Amino acid sequence: MSKKSRKKSSKTPSARPTAKKKPVKTRATTQTRSAKTQRRPASKSTGTIAKAASHGAASKPLNSSKSTAASAAKPVLAEGQKAPAFRLPRDGGGMVTLSDYAGRKLVLFFYPRADTPGCTREAIDFTRLADAFTAAGTAVIGISADPLKAQEKFRDKHSLGVPLISDEKHEMLEAYGAWGEKSMYGKSFLGILRTTVLVGSDGKVAKIWRNVRVDGHADQVLEAARGL
């Protein structure tokens, strides 16, 4: 055998495995493409789920804003309007109505909860000035959503000298604009807004204090009642 024929024969075996490898590469490429094709729908579905989840999370603030808009749409009591009528139970028994104070000035202070620090200071201040309010021809009533037993316990514990009304159904609170949305620790909820309303002897709302700050508030209300 000549040298040329040997070279040809030596190249032939090495060429055969190379020819076999090409289909393998093609198969591998096909498998890779098919794997990518399979992954694409999965990524799309994942994106759809993520969008749905984000939409669901965003719907909570939207619902909250709708409820806020709905509550804001309700007419809010304003100065000069006729005071809304009410009939509710008070501490010690009996019922209290607006008509009981016809022809007299009346202070209605709405507080969030009996025997809490701010509400206690406010009720004590109005009790301290009870005689001064009487001299000014003005009655004073405290209102919250606490049940009567809680109101009476609150009264006895701090020797309060003003009537305390229980509005568990929030009817009077809503009518006087003392019930609405509040926030605490990043959470929103409905509750009592610390509010005071001065009703004139003509039965109309003379003055409204909203978002009341307790310190010195009772004295401010007394001055307003004296000047009415």
Whether 119 is catalytic: yes
Other Cβ atoms less than 10 A from the Cβ of 65: the count is 11
Contact 142, 162 (CB under 8 A): yes
> Could you give the count of Cα atoms lying within 13 Å of 134 in the half-sphere of its Cβ?
7
Contact 198, 107 (CB under 8 A): yes
| Amino acid type, 5 | S
Helices 217-226 and 117-128 sit at what angle, rounded to 10 degrees? 40
Q: Quick one: which of 181, 154, 158 has its CA closest to 166?
A: 154
- Give the Cα separation of 65 and 217 in Å (integer): 32
Q: Which of 106, 119, 162, 221 is catalytic?
A: 119
Buried-state track 3-20, b at ≥16 Cβ within 10 A, e below 16: eeeeeeeeeeeeeeeeee
Backbone angles phi, psi at 7, to 5 degrees: -65, -45
- Give the Cα separation of 92 and 81 in Å (integer): 31
Q: Quick one: which of 143, 131, 78 has its CA closest to 107?
A: 143
Which residues are known catalytic residues? 119
